[in-house]
């Protein structure tokens, strides 16, 4: 692994907390690395294990479920 490694992270974000937090980070201009791709869900409890497995299967370097 070299310094150029840019992981692709699939994020499942609960609409009511994590996604709202993501929006607030924007309003507050908090800077963070652009490696996560967010999938908005209505509850982190909605994230089916197959979706997580699928993400890895497709080649994701990481999956983060936030809720």
Partner 1 sequence: MEKCIACGLCAEKCPKKVDDEFNMGISKRKAVYIKYGQAVPLKYAIDPEQCIYLTRGKCRACEKFCPTGAINFEDKEEIVTIDVGSVILAPGFKPFDPSVYDVYGYGKIEDVVTSLDYERLLSASGPNMGHLIRPSDHQEPKKIAWLQCVGSRNNNRCDNTYCSSVCCMYAIKQALVTAEHLSGDDISQTIFFMDLRSHGKDFEGYYENAKTKGVNFVRARPHTIDPGPEGVGVSIRFTTETGETFEELFDMAVLSIGLEASGDSMALADTFGIELDMHHFAKTGSFEPVNSSRTGVFVTGAFQAPKAIPRSVAQASAAASSAATLLADARGSMTRNKEWPEPRDIRGETPAIGVFVCSCGINISNVVDVEAVAKYAATLPNVVHVENNLFTCSADTQELIAEKIKEHGLNRIVIAACTPRTHEPLFQETLKDAKLNGFMVEMANIRNQNAWVHQREPEKATQKAKDQVRMAVAKITYSSPLNQETLNVTPKALVVGGGIAGMTSALAIADQGFETLIMEKNNTLGGNALALKMSFRGEIVKPMLDGLIEKVSTHPKISVATEATLKYVSGSVGNFKSEISINGTLKQIQYGVAVMAIGGREGVPTEYHYGEDRRVMTHLEFDAQVMESIVAESEKAAAPDKGKMENPQSVVFIQCVGSREPERPYCSRICCVHSVKTAIQIKEKSPETQVFILNRDIRTYGVWEDYYQKARELGVIFIRYEVERKPVVNLEENHIAVKVTDPILQLPLDIEADYLVLASGVIPNQSRDLVEVFKCSASAEGFLNEAHPKLRPVDMSVDGLFVAGMCNYPKPIDEAIEQAKAAASRACVVLSKETMKLDAVKSFVTDKCDGCALCVDVCPYNAISLETVDSSLDLESASYAETEKCKDSVVATTLNGESHNLNGSFHRRIVTDSALCKGCGICFATCPKEGIMVHGFTMNELKAQVTAAIA
DSSP for 30-62? ----TTEEEEEES-GGG--HHHHHHHHHHT-SE
Angle ∠(39,16,10) on CA atoms, nearest 5: 20
Closer Cβ to partner 1, 1 or 48, answer by number: 48
Provide, rounded to whole angstroms, the least separation between the CB of residue 58 and partner 1: 4
66 binds partner 1 (CB under 8 A): no
| Residues forming a β-bridge with 63 | 10
Binders of partner 1 among residues 12 to 51 (CB under 8 A) are: 15, 19-20, 22-34, 37-43, 45-51
Could you list the residues that contact partner 1 (CB under 8 A)?
A: 6, 8, 10, 15, 19-20, 22-34, 37-43, 45-51, 54-55, 58-60
């Amino acid at each position: 692994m070299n310094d150029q490694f840019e992981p692709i992270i699939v994020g499942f974000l609960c609409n009511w907390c994590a996604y709202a937090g993501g929006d607030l980070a924007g309003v507050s201009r908090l800077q963070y690395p652009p490696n996560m791709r967010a999938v908005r869900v209505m509850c982190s409890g909605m994230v089916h294990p197959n979706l997580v497995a699928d993400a890895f299967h497709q080649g994701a370097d990481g999956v983060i479920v936030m809720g």
